[in-house]
Amino acid sequence: MQGLLLAGRYRLGESIGSGGMGRVWRAHDEVLHRAVAIKELTASLYVSDSDRAVLLARTRAEARAAARINHSAVVTVHDVLEHDGRPWIVMELVEGGSLADAVGERGRVEPREAARIGLWVLRALRAAHTAGVLHRDVKPGNVLLGRDGRVLLTDFGIAQIEGDSTITRTGEVVGSVDFLAPERVRGHDPGPASDLWALGATLYTAVEGTSPFRRTSPLTTMQAVVEEEPAEPLHAGPLAPVIGALLRKDPAGRPDAAEAEQMLAEAAEGRRPNAAQAYVPTRYAGGSPPAGTRRHGPRTAGTTPYPAATGPTAVAPAAGPVPGPAAAGPTGAAPAPRRRRLRTLALVVALAAIIGGGTAVILRESDGNRSAGGGASASPSPTATATASPGESPGTSVPDSWVRHDDPVGFGLYLPEGWKRRVFDIDGDLKQIDYTPDGGEHFLRIAVDTSPDFNDPYQHQLDLEEQLQRLVDYERVTLKRNVYRDRGGSEWEYTWTAQPKDTSFPGPRRAMEETYMSRDGTEYALYISSPAEDWAATREQFRTVLQSWQEQTS
């Protein structure tokens, strides 16, 4: 594509950057004889027509958002043109790299320099907020460092213009996982304070060389954002209290832009801002904190759920010893909690790039713009082996049209033709795999936990049910002990009403789960969910799945 002439005036040169949504080209404006940068929206080439319309609208909104902001620290948009049925954005060319590049090359940035960078980003954000624009994706990769010493904020591609909500679908959360403010993870509307929180996370990354909340998966990263305090920065110097103030969980407890600007100005001069200390909560080295003070630490069951979901999300403490094999049989008390991981049962907001189609969340996992891996994103590898001819399994009686899947996680089952495998989450010993025919409206989830928190499936389901009371219209149909594959198990069926703010598939839903312990102590949970109106057919499908199920296939 190099050498292509766009709109009769912009000659493309070499590609100077790319990400999950687009590619940036160096170009020459042959009318004004100047170098420019042109952003090509490549993601629109690989999505459905409906999602393409959303992407195109976002690209135009990016140009409108940036055009509303008149500030030297915001990359200037010169033009928007149409080519090949797509909009291309012509922007100011900044010779240099990003803050993410600087951290990658140097390991970390000196605190006073980071404060100077943060000061200019904050000024850009103040100008944007004054113009009624929220950036919503502040991160090191979107902070440009010019060779001339300038600092500029770029990529308003997911910005929100005040009063314009036409291009964000209901329930959609947009941004980079590591830099999403806690209130956004919880599904609340963002505000200027959300951009300031992202700035705090960006400055932490700059001085420490690592994101404060990055974990092993997008879901556990989001949990850390909501529930955990970042490790004390070791290299932040006078910037440390400013970062702490910006990273307060409660948006009302953060400094406003004017206060933050003063703090950053002092830190850039090498002075520790006294005003910032008032925003940083006292940490206790040991013992019990004073009455009324909440100890920071892992979430326990029954606290505020994360993230926004249309169904139950089980969240509880992490870390602890791995238990031995569970006791056999259908009885037995739940052991004391050790390490608890995320086990999500119903149709949560999917963690996938928009190219996955039919999703309710767009997240960017890192400054390299890799699409996030949880939810409904297709598994890149390994893939399940599907065979069209049914084989024999204990008690199996499946329709001839059903397809056998030998899943790489270590189980086998039959499903109707057309059901696709997607990795929902891999979190240590807990692996959750989805199969769906339609992007998640109907889906089967298999959870395989080789070191479960409970040795009694019934007690585990009771524990999960306690966290479902937040669901609209939750009602238990049944929850009872049973025997499955000659092992003690538990069957749970329930209904609820999924909300439009949480999912692309709102309305009455129904779900059923069979959980049992294998002889080697692995907990298997087979869960299916669909709209309530389809439940009769879905339930019959689930019975056939249970008949065809095989654990630990080779």
Q: Which residue numbers are catalytic?
A: 137
Paired sense of beta strands 361-364 and 173-176, if any: parallel
8 Å CB contact between 214 and 223: no
8 Å CB contact between 457 and 523: yes
Alpha-carbon distance of 230 to 214, in angstroms, equals 10
Indicate if the alpha-carbon torsion angle 339, 340, 342, 343 is positive or negative: positive
State the amino acid at position 316 in one-letter form. Answer: A
Strand partners, 412: 406, 550
Who's near 190: CB < 8 A, 6+ residues apart?
Answer: 134, 136, 160, 181, 183, 184
Question: Is the link from the previous residue into 399 a cis peptide, with omega within 30 of 0?
Answer: no
Torsion of CA 340, 304, 167, 347, to 10 degrees: 50
Alpha-carbon distance of 503 to 344, in angstroms, equals 15
Q: Is 21 helix (H, G, I), strand (E, B) or coil?
A: coil
Indicate the burial class of 101 (C-beta count within 10 angstroms; 0-12, 13-18, 19 or more): middle
8 Å CB contact between 186 and 306: yes
**Which helix (H) or strand (E) is 227 found in, with range?**
helix 218-227
| Residue entry with tokens 């012509």 | 90
Paired sense of beta strands 343-344 and 96-98, if any: unpaired
Alpha-carbon distance of 214 to 179, in angstroms, equals 9
Alpha-carbon distance of 190 to 529, in angstroms, equals 30
How large is the angle between the packed helices 257-268 and 111-130, nearest 10 degrees? 160
8 Å CB contact between 548 and 414: yes
Alpha-carbon distance of 307 to 183, in angstroms, equals 10
Strands (E), 19-76: 23-29, 34-40
